[in-house]
């Protein structure tokens, strides 16, 4: 286990280019060169950035340049080195840095630090075709998490990435065995602490990151509002927050899929940016894990909608999220200690990590 790890997340347009080619390829080339322990590229289905241009897979003509997300986790030293190169790519709209623990190999005797006892987010990095006792590993992991009372888990399919430092990129004519997928699970710290050794037994060579999170809502029940963070820490470094809404394609709000309703409402209230990613399997409430079914047109896969903003704006938009998720969905909030947002010449934030014990 490594305590001092960082998670570097980039949000950008799938078709954004730099001098070297597509931004997505360039980012993953950087992660490959730095042999990043776990990195993944995810394709979004809808979103907008600082300019508030909506991109959506809703109609063919709006789906030209859908949002994309890359996540990279490794030791602080390694991520900071990679960041030096990532910084210089012009086409990346939003870059965030978050603190995380990275668990690799033997997870039998894991004691989570005290700070993780409120609620914890686990991210399990798997290969697309990885199996566990003849069942797809992501299905086995979700079943286990569901049985152990973890609040929700969502499986996201990557199209490119690195695992244990090795690059694996999806190709058309290939089984894509090692292309990364990620399972994001959120639950109370004790449930997660108990389930970790079991995951260690279930998976062949576990690669898991652990972060601190607050669960705000589940299945319509308001558990806690987002932390009321100040705009900056005691040294004046700006603080940010990330709201995540886990829902299902089948969940609706006033005749619209829940995640589309969230995006549209946040766009009109002036949120800085929103990205939605469609998962392939998962659960986020009392129901059993689910995905799409064969020969059914209506989709049942989970969705994840992410909004990163200032604490002040998060407090403003939370009532909107609260309304849209009045019956369904899992809402979590996390602190983001460093962020840089860019749109044309406008630039906010920076890469020095804020410290704010809460």
Give contact residues for another protein (rule: CB under 8 A): 53-54, 56-62, 64, 249-250, 252, 255-257, 260, 264, 297-299
- Minimum CB separation of residue 3 from another protein in Å reads 42
Going by their DSSP bridges, the two strands 166-167 and 160-163 should be labelled as antiparallel
Nearer to another protein, 64 or 205 (CB): 64
Q: Among residues 19 and 298, whose Cβ is nearest to another protein? A: 298
Query: In the bound complex, what is the minimum distance in angstroms from residue 217's beta carbon to another protein?
Result: 22
Q: Which is nearer to another protein, 76 or 252 (CB)?
A: 252
For residue 340, give the H/E element and its range: strand 338-343
**3-state SS track over 265-331:** HHHHCCCCCEEEEECCEEECCCCCCECCCCCCCCCCCEEEEEEEECHHHHHHHHHHHHHHCCCCCEE
Q: Which residue has the tokens 């062949």?
A: 204
Q: How far is the CB of 65 from another protein (least distance, A)?
A: 11
In the bound complex, what is the minimum distance in angstroms from residue 278's beta carbon to another protein? Answer: 11
Picking from 142, 95, 119, the residue whose alpha carbon sits closest to that of residue 279 is: 142
Alpha-carbon distance of 176 to 348, in angstroms, equals: 38
Cβ of residue 60: shortest distance to another protein, in angstroms?
5
Q: Give 227 or 260: the residue with its C-beta nearer to another protein.
A: 260
Q: For another protein, give the closer residue by CB, 59 or 111.
A: 59
Rounded Cα distance between 6 and 11, Å, is 16
Q: Residue 198 belongs to what H/E stretch?
A: helix 189-202
- Nearer of residues 177 and 268 to another protein, judged by Cβ: 268
Taking CA atoms, 270 is separated from 264, 273, 275, 304, in Å, by: 10, 8, 14, 20
Place of tokens 């749109």: 343
Closest distance of CB 21 from another protein, Å: 23
CB of 265 vs another protein, minimal distance in Å? 12
Q: How many CB atoms lie within 10 A of CB 194?
A: 13
Which residue number, 62 or 223, has a Cβ lying nearer to another protein? Answer: 62
């Amino acid at each position: 286990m490594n305590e001092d790890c960082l998670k570097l997340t980039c949000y950008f347009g799938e078709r954004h280019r730099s001098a070297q080619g597509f931004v997505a390829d360039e980012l993953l080339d950087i992660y490959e060169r730095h042999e990043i322990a776990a990195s993944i590229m995810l394709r979004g289905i809808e979103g907008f950035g600082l300019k508030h241009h909506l991109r959506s897979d809703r109609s063919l003509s709006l789906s030209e340049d859908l949002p994309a997300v890359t996540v990279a986790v490794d030791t602080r030293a390694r991520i900071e080195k990679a960041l030096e190169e990532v910084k210089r790519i012009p086409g990346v709209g939003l870059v965030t840095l978050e603190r995380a623990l990275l668990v690799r190999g033997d997870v039998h005797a894991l004691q989570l630090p005290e700070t993780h006892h409120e609620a914890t987010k686990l991210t399990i990095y798997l290969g697309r075709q990885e199996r566990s006792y003849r069942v797809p590993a992501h299905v086995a992991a979700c079943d286990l998490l569901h049985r152990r009372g973890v609040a929700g888990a969502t499986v996201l399919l990557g199209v490119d990435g690195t695992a244990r430092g090795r690059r694996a990129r999806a190709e058309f004519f290939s089984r894509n065995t090692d292309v990364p997928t990620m399972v994001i699970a959120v639950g109370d710290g004790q449930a997660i602490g108990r389930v970790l050794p079991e995951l260690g037994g279930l998976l062949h060579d576990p690669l898991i990151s652990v972060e601190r999170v607050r669960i705000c809502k589940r299945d319509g029940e308001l558990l806690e509002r987002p932390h009321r963070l100040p705009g900056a820490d005691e040294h004046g470094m700006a603080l940010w927050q990330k709201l995540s809404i886990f829902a299902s394609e089948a969940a609706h709000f006033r005749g619209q899929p829940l995640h589309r309703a969230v995006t549209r409402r946040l766009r009109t209230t002036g949120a800085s940016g929103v990205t939605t990613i469609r998962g392939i399997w998962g659960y986020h409430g009392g129901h059993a894990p689910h995905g799409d079914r064969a020969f059914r047109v209506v989709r049942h896969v989970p969705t994840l909608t992410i909004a990163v903003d200032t604490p002040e704006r998060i407090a403003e938009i939370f009532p909107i999220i609260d309304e849209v998720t009045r019956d369904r969905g899992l809402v979590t909030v996390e602190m983001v200690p460093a962020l840089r947002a860019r749109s044309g010449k406008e630039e906010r934030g920076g890469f020095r990590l804020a410290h704010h014990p809460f």
